[in-house]
């Protein structure tokens, strides 16, 4: 599979179909991949594709990274299902020129969350990891353990219904078949069962750990505003310190800004240095949007976003009772 | 060198409580940090290095500088018992000394108290730091690249090493010597213990990757100031502040007023040179508007600017930034790339 | 323990609006506490952080000279949140101040030599401080030449004093505006061009340049052409500042902190810092 990916990318360079390809390479620490930027055919050898390829690379097409992408350059980008949905979102929101992208889809059966692996090893450092069909084997100083991949899959991958990029130019291997059960949100349902006070307590407890590093916002492909509301100082919307009310305004504000646009890739949660369950509220909002508007972000390049369009026959029960 | 049997450790810890507030590694995973402990059970002695460095106590993320009501300013500083820090690794102890050079002292105005940070000094000057040697450095540790060593006695007031059955402790600073003098009832370490230490040190050093001398970056970095390599190095950085916030020696902060004109407080809170708006001026001009300029700034500060001013590396090789970076921007790889390019330049 | 983060209280004694658009206002502040007055020792070139509790702080160069007793003068350009609030201050109001901060013009080195001062717009503040200081110790210095430019006649600051300085015989003041305006009696042209024309001698002379970045950028080559050596070209840098005491890292350029290693630097030194120019 990796070989096929590398060959394809090499071919794209040889046929002068791309100026730059963004993909994943082997990271410098175990269980980690890293974004790489390939500008010539021979560098395609550095590409990898496995369960560690968790970064959503679409983020490198916008924000400050716009200057990586000079106008009218042809860019190849390797995407999982969720990443591919970000690209559809970009096309819908006019952030990219579709004809300048060469979308390379890869079949994804989920990426791992390193923090979960460390829970399985009781915090002992993993020096090497190997992946098989449903298992991974991790080794460290004085131990070797086999772990079920399902136990350490990233939160976002557990109930994923969109493992394949919805739009692509090239697909490496065969798209993953899913048993269509519709989108499911078990942890959100647990949250919904809580009453108002308990929900507030839950949120305060989670978000008190936040150190406001903004890693979540910066790795999120849906967050591409050139000036984020938290960085404005005239008016200043929130304070800079991790005081819980300011922190909640940041997170809730951000969640609302990506409402109907979040592709649930989980990059935010994986980036968080404080281990906060960031995806939960985003998925709550996604569930609401699915129920109210029958809309899921990033699937249809011709569908207007739910929060940017109005249909007369939408549910109005919050007004009419 | 005194020897405290692990069975006696509880007594030792309890004896500190009269004079000191005890701080030690607590918590697990990414919540591990140095916190005040009242009970020995709170101490996590399994942890190789805490996710959050002791910087979080000496230079807390948010700190109230003063409160005000109308024109009346009230200081919020309170006198407390001095702190005893148990279990600080040598990289972190070095880190605290480096921070002290900036916060507690002033290179540009030595001996002028107007240029010393009173909040830092109130916490650091009387604190006792016990540097605990690393028997098992992690694969991300690279203190040996920055002139450090897992068994280094360069920083801290006391130095200790853990054997299977005991802690062996010796003083480093004058403060440490005074502290040891006050202890009684502990055996001195034996010749056998000394041999043990040598063996543990050798084993610890074998865990580390071969050192790459980052000291030479001091001369070499200015040569490649404009090199296109910086574009490559900074390409994947997403400009969050995870690395700076977790770093034991990053100290940049912002000062903000909170409240309204009648009543409120002036606080300082961690800031980061990686944020795009860090250097943005009122006119809109931003001297570091590009990611390459910001990544370059951070690397230069650690491996060149601090050398220029203080004759030391600001990076202690603790490896936290490597573990926390969401895109795996590994400072070791960056240092190697820079050395290669600079040597060829 | 001394706490330089805590501002001292100052009283607004006088407010002068410098221009018809009301973007520039000059404030004369006096010390509320006598002990603060006694402790405040400064030299031309230094700055203070003016503090509005609840709003924030902003750094301003001290426009008064230490030889002018009892008050400190600042000219503030209304440009952001804090400066907007400062512009609302009236006579009798209190405001916080931290200082004196930064380093100063090397007035000791200037002794016995000629001093050329080149200024632009409202960056003339610390240059006023320098000029008054030099005039107060006139016998210590050689020829004093000033080239001061503004976009138009309205945007000069300290207009009353400019009039008296024009009349003095122990210094030469040249005023210039960017484009011709009816009734303007002095020079016309950008500061770099006018400096080149006037060609002040570099012999036994120092030159101090302060102004907007673009003015400095084009004036420096002129000064080099006039054979001023790099170590005798002095300038004052501006950067976003917060703590003012070399701790918070905001104003860091290279190994230097503008708030404490500067803001006064020689061109010779700036050339060693890649990010500075």
Tell whether the model's pLDDT for residue A321 goes beyond 60: no
Arithmetic mean of pLDDT over chain A = 89
User: According to the model, what pLDDT value does residue B30 have?
Assistant: 86
Q: Does B281 touch chain C (CB under 8 A)?
A: yes
Closest CA to C125 of C102, C93, C92: C102
Q: A146 has which bridge partners? A: A137
Strands, DSSP E only, in B209-330?
Answer: 253-259, 263-270
Return the exposure string of A112-130: e unless at least 16 CB atoms fall within 10 Å of the residue's CB, then b.
Answer: bbbeebbebeeebbbeebe
Contact C245 B282 (CB under 8 A): no
| Shared domain check, A140 and A19 | no
User: According to the model, what pLDDT value does residue C79 have?
Assistant: 87
- Asked if residue A221 belongs to a domain, the reply is yes
- Asked if residue A83 belongs to a domain, the reply is yes
Instruction: Please answer whether residues B143 and B318 qualify as being in contact, where contact means their C-beta atoms are separated by less than 8 angstroms.
Output: yes
- Asked if residue A231 belongs to a domain, the reply is yes
Which residues make Cβ contacts (< 8 Å) with residue C70, sequence separation at least 6?
A: C30, C37
Q: State how far the Cα of A182 lies from the Cα of A278, in Å rounded to an integer.
A: 22
**Closest alpha carbon within chain A to B332:** A28
User: What 3-state class would DSSP assign to B226?
Assistant: coil
Q: State how far the Cα of B49 lies from the Cα of B223, in Å rounded to an integer.
A: 35
**Closest alpha carbon within chain A to C81:** A234
CATH architecture of C107-235: 3-Layer(aba) Sandwich (3.40)
User: According to the model, what pLDDT value does residue A181 have?
Assistant: 61
Chain A residues inside the 8 Å CB shell of C78:
none
Encoding tokens for residue C4?
């330089």
CA atoms within 13 A on the CB side of C230: 6
- Asked if residue A286 belongs to a domain, the reply is yes
End-to-end CA gap in chain A:
54
Of A33, A243, A273, the CB nearest to B30: A273
Instruction: Convert the pLDDT of each residue in A179-232 to its tens digit.
Output: 766 667 778 888 999 999 999 999 999 999 999 999 999 999 999 998 899 988
Q: State how far the Cα of C124 lies from the Cα of C45, in Å rounded to an integer.
A: 11
User: According to the model, what pLDDT value does residue B97 have?
Assistant: 96
Q: Does C41 touch chain B (CB under 8 A)?
A: no
| Shared domain check, A67 and A169 | yes
Instruction: Convert the pLDDT of each residue in C39-85 to its tens digit.
Output: 999 999 999 999 999 889 999 999 999 999 989 999 999 988 899 99
Output the CA torsion sign for A186, A187, A192, A195. positive
Q: Does C70 touch chain B (CB under 8 A)?
A: no
- Asked if residue A321 belongs to a domain, the reply is no
| Shared domain check, A187 and A55 | yes
Tell whether the model's pLDDT for residue A320 goes beyond 70: no
Return the exposure string of C240-253: e unless at least 16 CB atoms fall within 10 Å of the residue's CB, then b.
Answer: bbbbbbbbbbbbbb
Closest CA to A78 of A11, A154, A168: A168
Chain B residues inside the 8 Å CB shell of C57:
255
Backbone angles phi, psi at B129, to 5 degrees: -105, 120
Instruction: Convert the pLDDT of each residue in C151-191 to its tens digit.
Output: 999 999 999 999 999 999 999 999 999 999 999 999 999 99
Arithmetic mean of pLDDT over chain C = 92
Q: How far is A233 from chain C (nearest CA, A)?
A: 8
Chain B contact partners (≥3 CB pairs within 8 A): A, C
Could you give the angle at which helices A279-293 and A244-257 cross, rounded to 10 degrees?
Answer: 40
Instruction: Convert the pLDDT of each residue in C182-196 to its tens digit.
Output: 999 999 999 999 999
Strands, DSSP E only, in C43-186?
Answer: 47-52, 56-61, 72-77, 94-101, 114-120, 144-150, 172-177
| Shared domain check, A109 and A19 | yes
Contact C1 B113 (CB under 8 A): yes
Which residues make Cβ contacts (< 8 Å) with residue B110, sequence separation at least 6?
A: none
**Closest alpha carbon within chain B to A212:** B241
Q: Which domain holds residue A129?
A: 114-152
Q: Where are the domains of chain C?
A: 8-101, 107-235, 237-267
Strands, DSSP E only, in A7-108?
Answer: 20-26, 33-38, 75-79, 101-105
The percent of residues above 70 in pLDDT, for chain C, comes to 99
- Asked if residue A159 belongs to a domain, the reply is yes
Contact C255 B257 (CB under 8 A): no
| Shared domain check, A50 and A7 | yes
Chain C residues inside the 8 Å CB shell of A233:
81
A65: confidence class by pLDDT, cuts 50, 70, 90: confident
Pairing of strands A143-148, A170-171: unpaired
| Shared domain check, A208 and A145 | no
Instruction: Convert the pLDDT of each residue in C200-256 to its tens digit.
Output: 999 999 999 999 888 988 999 999 999 999 999 999 988 888 999 999 999 988 889
Instruction: Please answer whether residues A228 and A217 qualify as being in contact, where contact means their C-beta atoms are separated by less than 8 angstroms.
Output: yes
Instruction: Convert the pLDDT of each residue in B49-99 to its tens digit.
Output: 999 999 999 999 999 999 999 888 998 888 889 999 999 999 999 999 999
**Closest alpha carbon within chain A to B270:** A241
User: What 3-state class would DSSP assign to C23?
Assistant: coil
Closest CA to C119 of C158, C159, C146, C154: C146
Using CB atoms within 10 A of its CB, is residue C234 exposed (0-12), middle (13-18) or buried (19+)? Answer: buried
Q: Does A240 touch chain B (CB under 8 A)?
A: yes
Instruction: Please answer whether residues C29 and C11 qualify as being in contact, where contact means their C-beta atoms are separated by less than 8 angstroms.
Output: yes
| Shared domain check, A34 and A63 | yes
Chain C contact partners (≥3 CB pairs within 8 A): A, B
Instruction: Convert the pLDDT of each residue in A115-140 to its tens digit.
Output: 889 888 888 889 999 998 889 999 99
Residues in chain A: 321
Instruction: Provide the total of helices (H) and of strands (E) in chain C, helices listed first.
Output: 8, 15
Instruction: Please answer whether residues A85 and A183 qualify as being in contact, where contact means their C-beta atoms are separated by less than 8 angstroms.
Output: no
Q: Give the residue ranges of DSSP H helices in chain B.
A: 9-16, 55-58, 90-103, 118-124, 174-182, 191-207, 217-220, 229-234, 242-246, 291-300, 306-310, 320-324, 331-344
**Closest alpha carbon within chain B to A36:** B236
| Shared domain check, A194 and A139 | no
| Shared domain check, A276 and A192 | yes
How big is the CA angle at B206 (ends B218 and B23), to the nearest 5 degrees?
75
Chain A contact partners (≥3 CB pairs within 8 A): B, C
- Could you count the other beta carbons within 10 Å of the beta carbon of residue B21? 17
Instruction: Please answer whether residues C198 and C147 qualify as being in contact, where contact means their C-beta atoms are separated by less than 8 angstroms.
Output: yes
Tell whether the model's pLDDT for residue B260 goes beyond 80: no
**Domain count for chain A:** 2
- The ipTM is 0.91
Chain B residues inside the 8 Å CB shell of A218:
238-240, 326
Higher pLDDT, B304 or B261: B304
Encoding tokens for residue A209?
């750990």
Tell whether the model's pLDDT for residue A112 goes beyond 70: yes
CATH topology of domain C8-101: Elongation Factor Tu (Ef-tu); domain 3 (2.40.30)
Q: State how far the Cα of B163 lies from the Cα of B6, in Å rounded to an integer.
A: 9
User: According to the model, what pLDDT value does residue B173 have?
Assistant: 94
Instruction: Please answer whether residues A185 and A284 qualify as being in contact, where contact means their C-beta atoms are separated by less than 8 angstroms.
Output: yes
**Angstrom distances, CA of residue C102 to CA of A159, B191, C35, C269, C274:** 59, 56, 21, 16, 21
Chain A residues inside the 8 Å CB shell of C80:
234
| Shared domain check, A80 and A44 | yes
**Closest alpha carbon within chain A to B29:** A123
| Shared domain check, A229 and A159 | yes
Arithmetic mean of pLDDT over chain B = 91
Higher pLDDT, B105 or A158: B105
| Shared domain check, A258 and A235 | yes
Q: State how far the Cα of A230 lies from the Cα of A233, in Å rounded to an integer.
A: 8
- Asked if residue A99 belongs to a domain, the reply is yes
Q: State how far the Cα of A215 lies from the Cα of B62, in Å rounded to an integer.
A: 19
Q: C116 has which bridge partners? A: C145, C207
Residue to substitute from A211, A229, A235, interface B, most B β-carbons within 10 A: A211
């Amino acid at each position: 599979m990796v070989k096929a990916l590398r060959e394809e990318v090499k071919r794209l360079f040889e046929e002068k179909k791309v100026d730059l390809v963004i993909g994943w390479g082997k990271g410098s620490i175990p269980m980690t991949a890293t974004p790489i930027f390939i500008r010539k055919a021979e560098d395609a050898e550095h590409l990898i594709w496995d369960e560690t390829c968790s970064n959503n690379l679409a983020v490198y097409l916008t924000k400050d990274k716009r200057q990586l992408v000079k106008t009218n350059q042809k860019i190849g980008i390797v995407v999982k299902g969720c990443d591919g949905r970000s690209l559809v979102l970009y096309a819908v929101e006019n952030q990219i020129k579709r004809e300048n992208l060469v979308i390379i889809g890869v079949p994804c059966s989920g990426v791992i969350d390193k923090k979960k692996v460390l829970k399985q090893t009781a915090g002992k450092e993993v020096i090497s990891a190997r992946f098989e069909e449903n298992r991974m084997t991790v080794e460290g100083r004085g131990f070797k353990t086999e772990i079920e991949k399902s136990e350490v899959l990233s939160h976002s991958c557990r109930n994923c219904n969109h493992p394949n990029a919805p739009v692509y130019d090239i697909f490496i291997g065969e798209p993953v078949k899913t048993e269509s059960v519709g989108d499911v949100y078990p942890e959100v349902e647990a949250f919904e069962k809580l009453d108002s006070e308990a929900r507030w307590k839950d949120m305060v407890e989670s978000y008190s750990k936040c150190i406001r590093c903004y890693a979540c916002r910066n790795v999120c492909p849906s967050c591409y505003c050139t000036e984020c509301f938290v960085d404005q100082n005239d008016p200043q919307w929130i304070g800079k310190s991790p005081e819980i009310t300011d922190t909640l305004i940041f997170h809730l504000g951000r969640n609302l800004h990506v409402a109907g646009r979040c592709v649930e890739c989980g990059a935010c949660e994986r980036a968080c240095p404080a281990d906060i369950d960031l995806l939960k509220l985003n998925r709550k909002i996604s569930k609401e949007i699915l129920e109210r508007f029958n809309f899921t972000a990033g699937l249809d390049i011709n569908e207007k976003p739910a929060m940017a369009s109005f249909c007369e026959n939408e549910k109005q029960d919050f007004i009419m009772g | 060198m005194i020897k405290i049997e692990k069975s006696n450790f509880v007594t030792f810890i309890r004896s500190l409580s009269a004079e000191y507030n005890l701080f030690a590694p607590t918590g697990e995973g990414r919540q591990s940090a140095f916190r005040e402990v009242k009970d020995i059970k709170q101490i996590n002695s399994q942890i190789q290095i805490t996710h959050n460095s002791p910087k979080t106590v000496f230079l807390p993320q948010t700190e109230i500088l003063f409160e005000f009501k109308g024109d009346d300013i009230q200081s919020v500083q309170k006198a407390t018992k001095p702190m005893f820090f148990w279990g600080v690794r040598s990289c972190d102890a070095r880190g605290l000394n480096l921070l002290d050079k900036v916060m507690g002292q002033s290179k540009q105005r030595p001996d002028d108290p107007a240029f010393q940070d009173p909040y830092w000094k109130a916490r650091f000057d009387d604190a006792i730091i016990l540097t605990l040697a690393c028997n098992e450095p992690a694969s991300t540790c690279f203190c040996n690249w920055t002139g450090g060593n897992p068994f280094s006695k360069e920083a801290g007031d006391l130095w200790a090493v853990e054997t299977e059955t005991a802690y062996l402790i010796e003083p480093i600073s004058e403060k440490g010597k005074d502290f040891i003098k006050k202890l009684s009832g502990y055996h001195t370490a034996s010749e056998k213990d000394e041999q043990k230490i040598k063996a543990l040190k050798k084993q610890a050093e074998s865990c580390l990757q071969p050192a790459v001398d980052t000291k030479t970056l001091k001369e070499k970095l200015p040569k490649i100031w404009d090199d296109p390599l910086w574009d490559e190095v900074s390409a994947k950085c997403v400009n969050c502040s995870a690395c700076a916030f977790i770093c034991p020696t990053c100290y940049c902060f912002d000062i903000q007023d909170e409240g309204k004109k009648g009543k409120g407080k002036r606080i300082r809170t961690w800031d980061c040179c990686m944020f795009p708006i860090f250097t943005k001026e009122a006119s809109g001009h931003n001297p570091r508007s590009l990611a390459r300029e910001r990544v370059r700034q951070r690397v230069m500060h650690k491996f060149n600017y601090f050398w220029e001013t203080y004759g030391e590396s600001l990076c202690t090789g603790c490896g936290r930034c490597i573990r926390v970076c969401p895109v795996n921007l590994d400072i070791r790889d960056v240092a190697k790339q820079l050395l290669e390019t600079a040597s060829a330049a | 323990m001394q706490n330089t983060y805590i501002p001292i209280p100052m009283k607004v004694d006088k407010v002068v609006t410098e221009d018809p658009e009301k973007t520039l206002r000059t404030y004369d502040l006096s010390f509320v506490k006598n002990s603060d007055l006694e402790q405040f020792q400064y030299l031309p070139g230094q700055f203070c952080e003016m503090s509005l509790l609840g709003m924030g702080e902003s750094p301003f160069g001290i426009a008064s000279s230490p030889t002018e007793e009892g008050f400190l003068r600042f000219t503030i350009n209304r440009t952001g949140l804090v400066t907007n609030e400062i512009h609302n201050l009236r006579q009798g109001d209190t405001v916080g101040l931290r200082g004196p901060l930064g380093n100063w013009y090397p007035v000791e080195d200037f002794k016995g030599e000629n001093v050329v001062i080149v200024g632009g717009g409202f960056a003339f503040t610390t240059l006023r401080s320098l000029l008054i200081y030099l005039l107060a110790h006139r016998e210590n210095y050689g020829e004093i030449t000033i080239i001061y430019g503004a976009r138009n006649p309205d945007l000069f600051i300290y207009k009353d004093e400019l009039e008296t300085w024009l009349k003095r015989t122990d210094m030469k003041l040249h005023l210039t505006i960017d484009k011709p305006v009816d009734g303007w009696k002095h020079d016309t042209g950008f500061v770099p061009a006018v400096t080149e024309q006037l060609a002040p001698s570099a012999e036994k002379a120092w030159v101090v340049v302060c102004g907007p970045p673009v003015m400095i950028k084009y004036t420096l080559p002129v000064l080099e052409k006039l054979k001023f050596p790099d170590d005798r070209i002095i300038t004052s840098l501006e950067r976003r500042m917060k703590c003012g005491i070399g701790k918070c890292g905001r104003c860091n350029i290279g190994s230097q902190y503008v708030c404490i290693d500067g803001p006064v630097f020689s061109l010779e030194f700036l050339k060693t810092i890649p990010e500075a120019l």
